[in-house]
Structure 1
């Protein structure tokens, strides 16, 4: 009964609980792994800068490369892809449809476009460049918290895109409240270490695991579970789905990818990170009510069953069946009334 009321209370606050056991487990969580893009940040990235490698010094070649990147990113559902495509569109460049296309979760895109073999992926691709100015600029941008996507053309890094995604306005307070509730918060992201550290620092998170592939995120969840932790994972993308499935409690942000929402046991419908500590408070209140209901039901039956069985018959006291039925109904009424107290719990 308490779980049912708790689920209803959560729904009214934008916390959609799809698995009743998740609400009970959330009250016991001691470690939260949280994704960066779209979870800790707004998920509305914008292209801030395009950096060219010295090997791509021809204007016509640059437009051809941007056209290929534009067309490839149009096929992608990664949060940064839309920002890059939108930024290129503003330069009056038409997208080239890829002749072949492969999306690799945790890495990026491999495709053939405009007769060129293209790789579009993480900043680490810039390590193949011989232009130290190009590589140093990328390192500087990563240190400032920008997300960097590098395009490789015919095995040579040619261009990098610096994308910025602002941290959620409620992130700092949400992290602080979670830590105050005794939950260790760790940033788990595929971004470079410098970018991850910068964003984590803004949010007040000290534990960071960066440069992870989807399978590595799952491994991190399993490592913590083997150490005896009850682990929650919060994410919004395809890259988070393996970790979400492995976690004791999985939380998806509303507006995230369909697969993340489908896998998650709890969805924050409004996409507010502040709803996460609210969900924890609701879970703990629900668990407390469950324990209270069990306690009173246990005490009630310890007293009532012997009386109904005639334990005091020799003293002349006998509990009539009608009175026993009424007492049983009263017991159920007490459980319902106590459970309904969850509707008055303050989550904010």
Structure 2
């Protein structure tokens, strides 16, 4: 089976990119002829993953656009040629990731009857209704990255239900654990990772944890973005809260290995790759009360008036409640004997999100799509 994965760029950081890389490896292991095409030049020349993918027998190409506008104006023809070369006239799957790749992938495959386009829906995209409606006749199957992402997709876009199937994201647990480097830490560390955007809601936890009155506690936030100043102001100059900037995926894995709890106050997610990576390392979790996060643990929503809940794997917290996050963290700091118990419990859940099982599910959908009409 020929499978062509198309994504926006080759940046080193985790998230969707690391998922696509791991999916390529897993599909190759399961006998697929795999190609990967990037649209933007970003990361293509510097990311060591490009060489690793090629060494694994995966064809990696890039149309080399310097911007999204440039890709749309000048890159459709080159993308079409690369797709034709990769498919070599055989029945093939083009798996499209994120908005730009979906748009360009559909445009580039018009008239190529041997290609079936599949869209992986990773999250709630803003300003996406028109694109989805216009392109829907050319998408054979939509794959939301979780059941909650599927529910959101169906509610917003009303696709034919036989064209939507949820497949949970997965991670290469073995690879992540091999990247882990253990250090001796003398403080209790909580960490968050993400873009500084409204979605990640990091100003809430920055404010909550700035008020923690406990020696030997630090809250590290990794990332950058347009709301950095809001987070700085919410932290109020507290030494407890440290903004650590953008770092490599290797550094994030090392930080996860040595932290005591991972904090995810997001307003929404698809199925966070970062969350799955943290779980594979046995990190206790403190998550907001949104379906895509709590459903990973099969946890019910908080009850009315329930600001936070102690769970076997960590804490479920009312999403925008600063006081609740502060109370939950204070509880964690006062009951440090729970850390190892939570680690064991989290690792049990992590085993359900392996990239190998995810790839098997993708292959079943690919086979089905090659045998059906849109």
TM-score scaled to structure 2, two decimals? 0.33
Query: Which structure has the highest helix share of the two?
Result: 1
TM-score scaled to structure 1, two decimals? 0.34
Which has the larger Rg? Answer: 1
**Larger RCO: Structure 1 or Structure 2 (Cα < 8 Å, ≥ 6 residues apart)?**
1
